[in-house]
Amino acid sequence: MSPAAEEGAPRRAAPVEPRPLATVSDRDFLRFQALINREAGIWLAPVKKALLVGRLARRLRELGMHGYGEYFDRVVEDGAERVRMLDAICTNETHFFREPRHFELLAERIFPAWVAEADAGRRPRRARVWSAACSTGEEPYSLAMSLLAGLPGWEVEILATDLSTKVLARAEDALWPVEKAKEIPMPYLKAYMLRGFGSQEGLMKAGPELRRLIRFARLNLSQEPYPAIGHFDLVFCRNVLIYFDRDTKAKVVNRLIDRLVPGGHLFLGHAESLGGLSTRARAVVPTVYQLADPPPARPA
């Protein structure tokens, strides 16, 4: 018998079960649906009611709320809470070197063409890249490794943006479970990643030569105007358009193309295409598009 069960010992109170949250009503779902679409361009179909409940339930409990209508009112009134709500709704699945054919295209065709142009004096030895939905950082760090390996000695700048402040903070920390090492080609892993020890046992961190290339910023692709971020040789916006309605897709695609230099490339996700959205860039391979002609005057 344990000491706590002996006569005279204080009895522990039974744990209090958290009060279950009511499901979201049709009215409140429609209000969230419209707000999320307006703020982020993300369209939640009616079958996504369970997803909305699952993503927001924890935050309601943290705030001591028991109704989604109450939380909606809070989100409308509080801009910081609106950002937290969008953080919760966003899907942030990502991997190092996701969609390997894209990285093969860079190494085998695009980078050699750039080097030849630089050797001929037709371009500077400089590359600017935008990872337009960087999540927890695997994509921009994969790009940094590829650029350092494929363009030694070049000036490289990577802008990494996302809607979610939560994942941006993780991306800037540049720390991941060491199990993710298997996603990285061994030569890159040895050259650019650091294995944690002591308090960081079981983790790996991007080396300083990668971290210095990348600047992180919050950017909402569905809202304009975009900040003055300049123009890019490569824009990666993969597995994002699938969450937008058609009008938002077309607007976002054309804003991304606006940010390409002549001859620059736009990379989309494996289930995405420019079909019916824009004719301003030609397909190079499936999901990769090139701006061939100089575009009209664009914002700085």
Question: Does the annotation mark 162 as catalytic?
Answer: yes
| Residue of 87, 98, 128, 162 marked catalytic | 162
The dihedral built from the CA positions of residue 277, 282, 284 and 288, taken in this order, carries a sign that is: negative
Please report, for residues 72, 222, 238, 242, 278, the alpha-carbon distance to residue 250 in angstroms, rounded to integers and kept in the order given. 29, 10, 15, 12, 7
Greatest Cα pair distance in the chain: 91
Q: Running DSSP on this structure, what letter comes out for residue 42?
A: B
Which of 267, 231, 281 lies closest to 140 in space, CA to CA?
267
| Residue of 55, 74, 82, 211 marked catalytic | 55
Give the list of residues 6+ apart from residue 295 with CB closer than 8 angstroms, or none. 257, 258, 260, 262, 280
Which of 80, 96, 181 lies closest to 135 in space, CA to CA?
96
Q: How many CA atoms within 13 Å lie on the side-chain side of 110?
A: 22
The dihedral built from the CA positions of residue 63, 83, 248 and 127, taken in this order, carries a sign that is: negative
**Helix, strand or coil for residue 5?**
helix
The answer for 110, left when phi > 0, alpha when psi is -120 to 50, beta otherwise, is: alpha
Question: Does the annotation mark 55 as catalytic?
Answer: yes
Please report, for residues 13, 75, 94, the alpha-carbon distance to residue 58 in angstroms, rounded to integers and kept in the order given. 24, 15, 23
Which residues are designated catalytic?
55, 162
